[in-house]
Amino acid sequence: MNHQTIITELADGIFTITINRPDKLNALNKFVMEEIDLAITKLYHDPEIHACILTGAGPKAFVAGADISEFLQTDPQGGSLLAKKGQELFARIENAPKPIVAAVNGFALGGGCELAMACHFRIASENARFGQPEVNLGIIPGYGGTQRLTQLVGKGKAMELMMTAQIIDAAEAKSLGLVNHVTSAESLLEHTRQILSVIISKSPLAIGKVIAAVNAYFTPSNGGYEKEAELFGDCFGTSDMKEGVSAFLEKRKPDFRKN
């Protein structure tokens, strides 16, 4: 497949999807989301693919978030739709019948942290950094972060991380259970491949059923994702969001008016 914003590679049954916009820290614009979607469709259907690694190109970032430069043209309805589409793609990752592991090689912020959390588990390099800094922009996580961060680290810590916008390092992410292992940057992909090679030596049908059964524990029947998409959309009608996003794009501190 010929892609513009991702690189895909299949070796020994392991499909690697590398998000490839290093000059924008691999931020998720609509093209990246479409291309990840195509790659995930391939993963679902290609019998040669037994497992998948999701990672980011370059030494600095896994994914530094949704592409903030697309936000100013977005109204509340568009914001809610953006969240719903992102949630759908990330749910397809979470519910894939084959293991998908995030190899987090730098910043995993906002939508990047949400993408990593949609994967079945996460391995981080020592320079990985995690956070949901949306409140700096006058918005909230919209690609499932309010739900999955709460599942992974518990309500109190999730609330603190999302309200303070604090960025945490790989060691803290491990202590919170957000990542399973921390490796050097050089050995990140190899370490991830080693774990996946163990997994793919097992029964693929049984692995698919492990994923489905564990996910059933978290089946979102409580309307949390719908609420998140609605509230994410609401943010796009506020002057706080316009100020937060403009401040980021103009490389200055925001001055929130709180309405």
* Catalytic annotation, residues: 114, 134
For the bound state, the minimum distance from the C-beta of residue 190 to ligand COA, rounded and expressed in Å, comes to: 26
Give the orientation angle of helix 224-235 with respect to helix 76-94, to 10 degrees. Answer: 140
The verdict on 144 binding ligand COA (CB under 6 A) reads: no
**Exposure letters 71-100 (e unless 16+ CB within 10 A, then b):** beebebeebbebbbbbbebbbbbbebebbb
The verdict on 65 binding ligand COA (CB under 6 A) reads: yes
Site map for ligand COA, 110-139, x if CB under 6 A? xx---------------------xx-xx--
Among 6, 33, 53, 68, binds ligand COA (CB under 6 A): 68
**What is the identity of the amino acid at 96?**
A
Q: Give the count of residues interacting with ligand COA (CB under 6 A).
A: 17
Q: Which residues contact 213 (CB under 8 A, 6 or more apart)?
A: none
The verdict on 162 binding ligand COA (CB under 6 A) reads: no
Of 150 and 197, CB closest to ligand COA: 150
Alpha-carbon distance of 85 to 222, in angstroms, equals 19
- Residue 30's closest CA among 82, 91, 84? 82
The verdict on 64 binding ligand COA (CB under 6 A) reads: yes
For the bound state, the minimum distance from the C-beta of residue 238 to ligand COA, rounded and expressed in Å, comes to: 15
Alpha-carbon distance of 150 to 228, in angstroms, equals 13
The residues that touch ligand COA, with contacts defined as CB under 6 A, are: 24-25, 27, 64-69, 107, 109-111, 133-134, 136-137
